[in-house]
Amino acid sequence: MAEEAVLGYLENNEEIGDSGEFAAELGIDHNEIVNVIKSLHGFRYVDAQDIKRETWVLTDEGKTYASVGSPEVQLFLAIPQEGITKDELQKKLDPSAFKIGCAQAAKNKWVDMGKQLISRKVQHVDDKVKERLLQIQQGQSIGSDEIKALKARKLIVPQTWKGYSVKKGPNYAPKRKKVVTDLTRDNFQSGEWKELEFKEYNYSAKGQPLEGGHLHPLLKVRAQLKQIFLCMGFEEMPTNNFVESSFWNFDALFQPQQHPARDSHDTFFLETPSTTKKLPEDYVQRVKQIHEYGGYGSRGYVYDWKREEANKNLLRTHTTAVSSRMLYQLAQKKPFSPKKYFSIDRVFRNEAVDRTHLAEFHQIEGLVCDRGLTLCDLIGVLHDFFSRLGMTKLKFKPAYNPYTEPSMEIFSYHEGFKKWVEVGNSGMFRPEMLQPMGLPEDVQVIAWGLSLERPTMILYGIDNIRDLFGPKVDLGLIKKNPICRLGID
């Protein structure tokens, strides 16, 4: 109906001057007219020009006053001829109407606000506010001073009205021709194809974008780090065991059974299966011996080592549990051959979740196993590794780890923060860890580790780890984040 009205009117007239007035005359919703004009304009049946008008509309508060009257008039009408106390008057009105009404009625000098009694000063008032609001609501114009007063009381707000003026277009016709997109067998058989008008083919139209997969920022940084390790000649360790025994996670690393990290407040222990069923018995006995009585120049921890503690299953707290397995397997191969291993995978800690901590995260670990390694070799490898990440300024600070001696925390100077930031931990595995495995006495292992989340957050400008990893991740971030580029030499 709206399309017929627009095309039919233009058949006998030059122009529709105002789509709003046109819609009102025909009793058709203006939005329906606007949609038709846009469609006809797209096919060049008509040429449409924008019309914009600034109008005023009532706020929710203004609509209320237009319905029930302004607060000042409500208050005036609630005051009897003999006057009324403030408390009694307050009970008769809404709190907001009372407060506004008192101020406006006093300003208009309608009432006498006495200390004990509120009384009328005039016998009759006109509700000019309601009258003006109704005029605006009905589309009538009012004076600029009245507009200013209503606007100051936040009873009206400006609104831009949009419409069109319409003229005939180059493809104008009194009725829209039906264009087809497909030519069928029936069209040929009936001869209808001779009369058909086909829709033009748009060669520049773009197809629907494909919703392909997107790599998570963590996976991008992980892939770059993996490439760095491979370029340095490292071999990736298998990290498919999220569940480990306490033996490989703690005992094999010369970590005492009374260590705080073994507490349930720090580690996730499994209920089912609660214990492991298989451990290398000869190696277990050597680990028990080194814990209880020491050896290889060590006093041990001098306590009763319990097998039931070592058998407990847990979610691994570090990927060093993987390193302990790999080094034990390497020790069984004769003759000994040097190895360089790395791993990047998930670990679990029973920690409170906040903007910098999660109960699960990713650990990056690298180790070199060879004869005659020293602390200088560790520092040299660390400089090589971190320089490939774009971190050339490094500092080292002595630290303590149960399974490394000496141990060092690694700091890098952050150009953005203008300060030194801790980026990892490192050390040389202790003989008490290596010798029970069966490695030769002159073989040392240097190792280091860091998290995957911290460098990723720095690279992508993320300051809350929960925005990077977990159920609250914004999928838009994953789709739009840039390609990861580390400072690889």
Which pair of tokens denotes residue 61?
């508060």
User: pLDDT value at position 356?
Assistant: 65
Cβ atoms within 10 Å of 256's Cβ, excluding its own = 16
pLDDT at position 84 over 50: yes
| 400 CB-side CA count, 13 A | 2
pLDDT tens digits, one per residue of 103-131: 999 999 999 988 888 899 998 999 999 99
The answer to whether the predicted template modeling score (pTM) of the entire model surpasses 0.85 is no
pLDDT in tens, 149-204: 999 999 999 988 889 999 999 888 888 877 778 888 888 899 888 878 787 778 88
Other Cβ atoms less than 10 A from the Cβ of 356: the count is 12
The predicted model gives 26-36 an average pLDDT of: 90
DSSP β-bridge partners for residue 366: 342, 448
Beta bridge partners of 343: 365
In this structure, which amino acid lies at residue 174? P
| Mean pLDDT, the chain, integer | 87
Band (pLDDT 50/70/90 cuts) for residue 484 is low
Contact 457, 445 (CB under 8 A): no
pLDDT at 180: 78
pLDDT at 482: 66
**For residue 486, is pLDDT > 70?**
no
Q: What is the pLDDT of residue 489?
A: 44
Structure tokens at 201: 């083919």
Read off the pLDDT of each residue in 383-394 and give the average, rounded to a whole number: 86
| Separation of alpha carbons 158 and 52, rounded Å | 13
- Residue-wise pLDDT for 302-342, tens only, equals 999 999 999 999 999 999 999 999 999 999 988 889 999 99
Interatomic CA distance for residues 72 and 94, integer angstroms: 12
As a whole number of angstroms, the distance between CA 184 and CA 465 comes to: 58
**pLDDT(372) > 50:** yes
pLDDT in tens, 431-470: 999 999 999 989 999 999 988 888 787 777 777 777 777 7
CA 337 to the chain's CA centroid: 47
Residues 6+ apart with CB under 8 A from 256: 291, 301, 303, 402
Q: Which residues neighbour 3 within 8 Å (Cβ) at sequence distance 6 or greater?
A: 36, 39, 40, 176
3-state SS string for the chain: CHHHHHHHHHHHCCEECCHHHHHHHHCCCHHHHHHHHHHHHHCCCEEEEEEEEEEEEECHHHHHHHHHCCHHHHHHHHCCCCCECHHHHHHHCCHHHHHHHHHHHHHCCCEEECCCCEEECCCCCCCHHHHHHHHHHCCCCCCHHHHHHHHHCCCEEEEEEEEEEEEECCCCCCCCCCEECCCCHHHHHHCHHHCCEECCCCCCCCCCCCCCCCCCHHHHHHHHHHHHHHHCCCEECCCCCCEEEHHHHCHHHCCCCCCHHHCCCCCCECCCCCECCCCCHHHHHHHHHHHHCCECCECCCCCCCCHHHHCEEEECCCCHHHHHHHHHHHHHCCCCCCEEEEEEEEEECCCCCCCCCCCEEEEEEEEEEEECCCHHHHHHHHHHHHHHCCCCCEEEEEEEECCEEEEEEEEEEECCCCEEEEEEEEEEECHHHHHHHCCCCCEEEEEEEEECHHHHHHHHCCCCHHHCCCCCCCHHHHHHCCCCCCCCC
CB atoms within 10 A of CB 299: 9
Kindly indicate the confidence band of residue 485, based on its pLDDT and cuts at 50, 70 and 90: low
Q: Looking at the predicted structure, is the pLDDT value of residue 487 above 80?
A: no
Comparison of pLDDT for 267 and 476, the residue scoring more: 267
Q: Is the pLDDT of residue 28 over 80?
A: yes
Give the separation between CA 317 and CA 351, rounded to whole angstroms. 11
| Residues 443, 424: Cα–Cα separation, whole Å | 24
Instruction: Classify residue 213 by burial, with Cβ atoms within 10 Å: 0-12, 13-18, 19+.
Output: exposed
Tens of pLDDT, residues 238-296: 998 899 999 999 999 999 988 887 786 688 899 889 999 889 999 999 999 999 998 88
Task: Give the CA radius of gyration of the chain.
Answer: 41
